[in-house]
Structure 1
């Protein structure tokens, strides 16, 4: 045959190395990067490589968003503290300059948020193999994008000096019943801290590990922010809960202080330590009542602190109880030690029973049927019997809930013995059935022989 079945010459084929690496091997031993054309967007290797690049890009965008959000919050805190300390005025050029810088960082933050969602949509497009990104956009995604843009847009605006009237909650010590609009915007600006949660999730190895993604797809489990948060809470509960509690108390204390200072400059809550005390007792649902907020804004923040404290403290108590609970191995060892102690107690009680019984017998043998000595030994005998019975009952109760390696091995040995005996019985039954079949066959042959003999005799009698 002149024409070969396969083409002669160098040919390329995609070699699978891992879910994160695809290389192209050339038949002469060289390697070069695979560069698919525009028509190869449905190629698995190209899609996986594209997905990896987009994940890395989205991670970098999340880092930029988090840094911009923190910069904006720090600038606002610096501006507010300078104004409250009297270093600069709320309408001064320095304060307006800081707010202008904050507005510039907010614009870049909004751009990064849009870029993050656009990268996520391109990632979904690469994973699903869509050609048009609009096919993956749903009403939920549009709503999520709008809410994030609204939250990140909130910040104190420069050259804005409006005041919002608020109720004084019936207090007679307030000198002001209005709150600056920029103060409310400053408090709402802390909503940007959700970017920290996104930053932590995207920098967790569980979110990018291909093995975890594969297992999640097979088990129909979504590897998302909720999964990563539960994993972190399970692995490092003290760090997660401690960070949430401390950050919540500090942020709410600063916000309460801001509200109270604008409502009443002479308020006790103008001191940060007093604000922390109020937030802490409210967060822990203690509520001594020695210090209370007098502004409508401060009371709303205190109410939110109490609601957050109920959930976080309950979660902390549950995690603490789970950590204090003995593991299965620890429980087995503790139960085993208790059983040894109960065995020793039962043996001592049994020896006391024998000893007191012998003494009572000796006393009765010597004619002491009544008296304090006999009564004392009888009481000791009853106590020893009761102690022995209690030890046996407690040991049997512990044995019911004790499953350890020794019990498992003994149960497995018993099961193996039962299986072996069943197999032997089955072989015996099979042998008996085989013997019965042979007997039936022999009886059938004998019946046929008898029938033939009877037929032969009958024929002979007819002939005669």
Structure 2
């Protein structure tokens, strides 16, 4: 088999495996989100018991948890199959059949960590656990309330959102475009989540920050509701969610009115996480706004040209005023020499003052023009120097080409003269 056929065969295999990899990622995302939704429904139905008049809450909880376990098992299978396909793609790219090339310690650790995260789900008949709360924050008195273990198992299920990051990478334009992947590979850049996130932040920063903030607020508000709702069973779950959504927003932006408080250590941990993430988001937003407000190179150049033209015109007008006032002063001096009246003396003094003011204005504008030339951006100076150097090199090349032509012509003349001398010498010998 020739090299071209081998490359074509590998490309077809890689294309087929890549399509299968994308489909497996979609399946894992659907199963992960589906299992999370089932667990959330189980937690809400168990806490509120809104369907108790229609169906037994324990039976409904058993069905939902069983469905969550089934989706989790399917998720683990598809997740392992995804990594298996990823290893096969790496083997096809490297052109080897040794599995040790694809199975590294880092890949094994990442796979085990993903399996451990995705394996967490509520189990039927798990019972309750005593949850410490601060019933009176001022007196530091502690109480304990019974919370279903399914709630504690549901909270870490939000870590499954790492599959969303993988979905974003595989469905991004940077990953789907072969030319982009090739250019990135030649520049030793991995088309991973960090690269895709940076690209999206560069192209649509406000959209990305808005979506990420809304998702973070909703998720953490629901988690805070589960941490705090059993401390106040008389308050409805929706009111809890609305209060802690408000708490999330004001904590996220480092405001903190203090009207809503958390009474559990879980809630305090989530509040600290919100404060840290909010600080990072605020810093990123300020950096993005600052970058948008910075003038581009072309805009700087336009403003520089406009300012330079205005100062140049002002300098010319000041010079014209100096000449005009000088001529008027000379005329007033002649009038004063003809008639030394008080009126002519006052007119002469007035014109002399105007001449002095125009000279001062001229000096100021000349200084401003000089400062404008000195404050010119280094980029423009380097660009101008580069253009001047390029022009000089072009002239040198032209002169060099002319010199080469003259030298070649001189060699031709010398050769013709040599031939003429040789022919003349032969003629004289004869």
Into which bin does the TM-score normalised by the smaller protein fall? 0.7 to 0.9
Find out whether 1:147 has 2:116 as its counterpart. no
Structure 1: gaps spanning 5 or more residues:
1-12, 17-21, 23-42, 435-464
C-alpha distance in structure 2 between counterparts of 1:347 and 1:149, whole Å: 77
Find out whether 1:194 has 2:175 as its counterpart. no
Sort the Cα spacing of 1:147 and 1:406 in 2 relative to 1 into closer, same or farther, 3 A.
closer
Structure 1 partner of 2:391: 413
Among 280, 295, 302, the residue aligned to 1:311? 280
SS at the partner of 2:380?
coil
Cα RMSD of the aligned pairs, angstroms, is 3.5
Q: Map 1:314-329; keep pairs closer than 5 Å.
A: 314-329=283-298
* 1:87-115 CA-partner distances (Å, limit 9, x unpaired): 14796221222222111111111111111
Contact 1:179 1:263 in 2 (8 A): no
Find out whether 1:265 has 2:210 as its counterpart. no
* 1:301-325 CA-partner distances (Å, limit 9, x unpaired): 1111111122222222222222232
Q: Map 1:260-409; keep pairs closer than 5 Å.
A: 260-265=228-233, 270-363=239-332, 366=336, 368=345, 373=350, 377=354, 380-381=357-358, 383-401=360-378, 403=380, 407=384
Find out whether 1:138 has 2:116 as its counterpart. no
C-alpha distance in structure 1 between counterparts of 2:46 and 2:69, whole Å: 18
* 1:250-276 CA-partner distances (Å, limit 9, x unpaired): 211221122121233357994333222
Structure 2 partner of 1:252: 220
Structure 2 partner of 1:36: none
Among 122, 127, 144, the residue aligned to 2:88? 122
* 1:100-140 CA-partner distances (Å, limit 9, x unpaired): 21111111111111111111112122222333434421221
Among 168, 171, 185, the residue aligned to 1:203? 171
Shift of 1:148: 0.5
Structure 2: gaps spanning 5 or more residues:
337-343, 412-430
C-alpha distance in structure 2 between counterparts of 1:375 and 1:290, whole Å: 74
If each structure's helix is expressed as a fraction of its own residues, which one has the higher value? 2
Shift of 1:147: 0.8
Shift of 1:336: 1.5
Contact 1:65 1:109 in 2 (8 A): yes
Shift of 1:424: 7.4
Shift of 1:149: 0.9
Sort the Cα spacing of 1:354 and 1:271 in 2 relative to 1 into closer, same or farther, 3 A.
farther
